Amino acid sequence: MLPPRRRVAPLSAPFPAFRDRYRLGKLPLGVSPICLGLVGNPRVVPEAFDAGINFFFVTADMHWPVYEALRRGLVMLFERGGGIRDEVVVALVSYVTQPEFCHTPFEEVLAMVPGLGRWDLSIAGGAYSGDLLGRLSRYRSHRSGGTSPALGATFHDRRAALLALNHDLVDIGFLRYNPLHRGAEEEVFPQLRSETSALLYNFKSTTGFLEEEVYASIGLSPEHWRPARTDYYRYALSRPEIDGLLCAFDEPHHVRDLADALAGGPLHDDQTAYLNDLAGLSLGRASLSSSLG
């Protein structure tokens, strides 16, 4: 099912399920609200697919070594046969900015992942205002040539993200939002046009998660709530402007961990404030104003 856009849903709306699908550009196949990127174990990929995730994010150049497990997992998945390749959407991302070099990295992934055969989404990685239009112009040749029907970009430059999303220059944008990086609350979310057809997915959602040893160092007692890593995914998805998440899972059981966490729905306001306070405390620039036992 293709659900309505989350950014026009009330804040209290439940989260989408793994098997829900969003329309992505003109792709005939919808994409799951969870997009899988880095994994620590190739077996995460078939586990994710069996749970309903059909959207995968693969680098074509930068960070190539750490994506080895994801590539191997995709090969494992495709080896099942039975038309599984046609049931998934594979996004390839390149961080090369020179227009003349914006095609070869994608072709190299095809050569390294047996069974892939094509890519469905071309992503300009780390796009900034100064290079975005030139790179997208080149990526449109992927679309017109039939090799990649959809276009996307990842952004650290929020102004570029807002431009691309509001003017439907991309079919999907990936933006960083977490308790340590909240600039989108002022620079993107209030200015985002609800009628845009572009999807917005979050990345780096768990930045700010604290390991147990950090709590004592910032003066919190054992009675204080220790949010799980999955609560940071809930934090990001609690924003109605965010349609989905780019996730990284180390082991297969982390797929089920996230599904169970998302079943809890959006964080309450006091929980969101608590995660923000934890981020400030960890940086030494805030005092705790809320506590959850």
Least Cα distance to 123 among 97, 94, 144, 143 occurs for 94
Q: Give the pLDDT confidence score for residue 148 in this predicted structure.
A: 67
Q: Give the pLDDT confidence score for residue 143 in this predicted structure.
A: 64
Model confidence over 116-154: pLDDT tens digits?
999 999 999 999 999 999 889 888 877 655 566 899 999
Least Cα distance to 202 among 224, 231, 172 occurs for 172
Least Cα distance to 258 among 235, 230, 237, 278 occurs for 230
Coil, strand or helix at 74: helix
Q: Give the model's confidence band at 44: pLDDT under 50 very low, under 70 low, under 90 confident, else very high.
A: very high
Domains along the chain? 6-212+229-269 (3.20.20.100)
CA distance 231 to 145: 41
Q: Give the model's confidence band at 20: pLDDT under 50 very low, under 70 low, under 90 confident, else very high.
A: very high
CA distance 75 to 149: 22
Indicate the range of 17-31, 115-129, 133-147, 204-218 predicted with least confidence: 133-147
Tokens 């077996």, residue located: 43
Indicate the range of 45-49, 86-90, 100-104, 105-109 predicted with least confidence: 100-104
Angle (CA) 12-208-253 rounded to 5° is 75
Model confidence over 151-165: pLDDT tens digits?
999 999 999 999 999
Instruction: With a cut of 70, say whether residue 243 has pLDDT above it.
Output: yes
- Please state whether 82 falls in left (phi above 0), alpha (psi between -120 and 50) or beta: left
Q: Give the model's confidence band at 217: pLDDT under 50 very low, under 70 low, under 90 confident, else very high.
A: confident
Q: Two tokens at 127? A: 């796009």
Other Cβ atoms within 10 Å of 281 Cβ, number: 19
Q: Give the pLDDT confidence score for residue 145 in this predicted structure.
A: 57
User: Rounded to a whole number, what is the distance in angstroms from the first to the last CA of the chain?
Assistant: 39
Q: Rounded mean pLDDT of the chain? A: 90
Is 106 in contact with 141 (CB distance < 8 Å)? no
Q: Give the model's confidence band at 99: pLDDT under 50 very low, under 70 low, under 90 confident, else very high.
A: confident
Is 148 in contact with 142 (CB distance < 8 Å)? yes
Q: Give the pLDDT confidence score for residue 149 in this predicted structure.
A: 82
Phi, psi of 236 (to 5 degrees): -65, -45
Is 4 in contact with 33 (CB distance < 8 Å)? no
Stated as kind and residue range, the H or E segment containing 86 is: none
CA distance 162 to 48: 30
User: How distant, in Å, are the alpha carbons of 14, 97, 169, 188, 202 from that of 164?
Assistant: 27, 16, 5, 11, 15
Sign of CA dihedral 153, 165, 25, 78: positive
State the amino acid at position 117 in one-letter form.
Answer: G
Q: Are strands 89-94 and 121-127 parallel, antiparallel or unpaired?
A: parallel
Q: Give the pLDDT confidence score for residue 7 in this predicted structure.
A: 44
Share of the chain above pLDDT 90, in %: 75
